[in-house]
Amino acid sequence: MNHDVIITCALTGAGDTTARSPHVPVTPKQIAAAAVEAAKAGATVVHCHVRDPHTGKFSRDVALYREVMERIREADIDIIVNLTAGMGGDLEIGDGEHPMEFGANTDLVGPMTRLAHVEELLPEICTLDCGTLNFGDGDTIYVSTPSQLRAGARRIQALRVKAELEIFDTGHLWFAKQMIKEGLLDNPLFQLCLGIPWGAPADTTTMKAMVDNLPANAVVGWLWYRPHADADGRASSVAGRQCPGRSGRQLVAGQGRTRHQRSTGGTRQRNSQPPGRASHDPGRRSHQDGSYQARLVPSRHKTL
């Protein structure tokens, strides 16, 4: 077994995480500070959303992303930045017999607008949500059509940004493979997101089916989300387990804010590491349940 790990920290997560915890960073300054803290703690990648500083709600404001990126870069830390490009796909269908009267939670824009901040800031990684989904109970749908996905993938490829494919259901994986077949994606990362209503359920049978259908030598992480009530009534997530015979493992801990991802087969070395930068010392690490031992990859050997 390969014990090298890549640790990804999702600094705020998507959704209404600010209502669940007062510790979720909101302003660009707070988000960038969280990125610096994560890097110093051993993270290799930070996954960034931004928030409206006044309301704490999600935002697509390019200026907020710009400030976060500038602050991270000014800190001169050894970290890979993954910017979400999933915002702008929410469609709230109108109530009852009035489906065309879209609700107040609708935030629906085209594929190039979803990538506006990526185009300007050129992070190392950005996400691509690979299909439409009934997102939770109620009337909200996340919209990502085949034509939108092809346009987004083509633009990400032209920008030479690494795509992280967010896979919420089996059909999303099927279409992701189709885009690879069409030459629209170059060695993307796969993120298998299980247990998010109403996509692929978080069970072993579904997980195995998805893993068995990954491309050969895929670099893959996965999120296993099973909401349950904490003592204070909040939902939280539990860790997934290793996918035997495939090339990745991801652990999601506590409100979906921290992700530990291991990549083995099909990786390529990141060559932009300047000599002399601080590196994380390799050492043995174990999860609280003792089920997994891992060795941190020195930063000069980071792989994507």
pLDDT of residue 13: 82
Q: What whole-number distance in Å separates Cα of residue 156 and Cα of residue 111?
A: 10
pLDDT of residue 4: 64
pLDDT < 70 stretches in the chain? 1-4, 226-304
pTM: 0.76
pLDDT of residue 150: 98
pLDDT of residue 227: 60
pLDDT of residue 277: 30
Q: Domains in the chain, ordered, with CATH?
A: 5-242 (3.20.20.70)
Q: What whole-number distance in Å separates Cα of residue 253 and Cα of residue 274?
A: 31
